[in-house]
Structure 1
Amino acid sequence: MIEKDAPEVTAAPEDIRYMKEAIRQAKKAAALGDVPIGCVIVYQGKIIGRGYNRRMADKTVLAHAEIIAIRKACRKMGDWRLEDCTMYVTLEPCPMCAGAIVQARIPNVVIGCMNPKAGCAGSVLDMLHEEGFNHQVETKINVCREECSGMLSQFFKDLRKKRLAEKEQAKQQTAEENSVEKTSSFTKGEKVKAQP
């Protein structure tokens, strides 16, 4: 298993450049209210597939950044095999995405930060390096880690704050509705007593 708190690596300039594009994609997800995960796929120095998490926007569990980028790259290449490509993704792939990476025969994956709850490049499972599969993937981890993990941390901090505010607002609204009902009942009772 991969050490989850491994330090940020000194990455090649092209790895940083493409990871920064994956980060730009992730910010699009955040703008939609989705978990900020972004992905790009590169072939011969050109981006052939981009994707960002759209689960909430598209209302489907299949709308992960990696899956979207793989679809676009396959369309661009005219093949389901992406054998000479490199994927850059801001968060360690989940089981579904790791499976798609193996199936697409992507040889290299560069990961921004690890995912200790669902990662399948060594954190929870190690699907990308599984010797029993017919394809294994070379990985580089923690490229632009601080920026990738910071973006996720901020998103979830803001989400918790928003949910807490919504909960407080719902509580206040319920209290106000209960207060109106009590006042309304009391007023009706007074009117009944006032009649001769």
Structure 2
Amino acid sequence: MTARNDAQPVAEPTLETKAEVEPTIRRAALSDEDYMRMALDEAALAACEGEVPIGAVVVCDGEVVARAHNRRETDLDPSAHAEFSAMVAAARALGRWRLTGCTVYVTLEPCLMCAGLMVNARIDRCVYGAPDPKGGALGTLFDVSHDERLNHEFEVRSGVLADEAATQLRSFFRARRAAAKRPPTLGDSHCVQLSGTPIIR
């Protein structure tokens, strides 16, 4: 599997920045909501790239080790889901494929593929925002996380900042539908002018 451009391990802080970061971490541990906000930021990046706005963050022992967002269209890769890419990047950052001790934060309930990877990677927990009524595999349509027939089970927390995650998705698809209904203009790349009438290619 090739590395995705955006799903990178989080760089270690330098000695200079560690002094600034560590007191903050000692004062207050980040909550599930804080990490989900980071995932929502990743989802916003996906929307800016024309991708479905889903973002993910992998946290191991209280430290963000990877973050990613959907890139299926950009990479022409059906596996380039946010959480899948983030788990691959986390494994590389940690130098191990087993993601024990890790929590995956993702803005939309994972699909079967991504939930299956969570089982295979042996994550400790998954925290997701909005449920996915058409493909959710952590409780909505299926529950891969607690299937006793599989070799690993993990904790799931759902509904964290679900309204914000759902709003991002609704806004994205609303804008996409509006753009599809708009009549083509000469400035569009798929429209040419022939004898005074715009023709769509």
Q: TM-score, normalised by structure 2?
A: 0.77
Match of 1:125 in 2: 142
The AA in structure 1 aligned to 2:180 is R
> Are 2:175 and 1:158 equivalent residues in the alignment?
yes
Identity %: 41
Mapping 1:137-176, distance limit 5 Å = 137-165=154-182, 168-169=183-184
> Are 2:120 and 1:103 equivalent residues in the alignment?
yes
- Superposed displacement of residue 130, structure 1: 1.1
Q: Structure 1 residues 13, 79: closer, same or farther in 2, change over 3 A?
A: closer
The 3-state SS of whatever aligns with 2:31 is: helix
Mapping 1:83-94, distance limit 5 Å = 83-94=100-111
- Superposed displacement of residue 177, structure 1: 4.9
> Are 2:72 and 1:70 equivalent residues in the alignment?
no
- Superposed displacement of residue 128, structure 1: 1.8
The AA in structure 2 aligned to 1:160 is R
- Superposed displacement of residue 124, structure 1: 1.3
Give the Cα separation in 2 of the matches to 1:128 and 1:156.
29
Report the structure number with the largest CA radius of gyration.
1
Cα deviation 1:94-120 (Å, max 9, x = unaligned):
111111111100110001110000110
- Superposed displacement of residue 169, structure 1: 2.0
Where do 5+ consecutive residues of structure 1 fail to align?
Answer: 1-11, 181-196
Give the Cα separation in 1 of the matches to 2:79 and 2:131.
20
The two structures, once aligned, show a CA RMSD in angstroms of 2.0
Cα deviation 1:137-189 (Å, max 9, x = unaligned):
21010000110000001001011111111xx328xx99x85876xxxxxxxxx
Q: Which has the higher helix share?
A: 1
Where do 5+ consecutive residues of structure 2 fail to align?
Answer: 1-28
> Are 2:54 and 1:37 equivalent residues in the alignment?
yes
Give the Cα separation in 2 of the matches to 1:115 and 1:178.
48
Give the Cα separation in 2 of the matches to 1:14 and 1:72.
22
Give the Cα separation in 1 of the matches to 2:83 and 2:105.
9
- Superposed displacement of residue 79, structure 1: 0.6
Give the Cα separation in 2 of the matches to 1:21 and 1:161.
28
The AA in structure 2 aligned to 1:88 is Y
Match of 1:25 in 2: 42
The 3-state SS of whatever aligns with 1:162 is: helix
Give the Cα separation in 2 of the matches to 1:50 and 1:20.
12
The 3-state SS of whatever aligns with 1:41 is: strand
Q: Which has the higher strand share?
A: 2
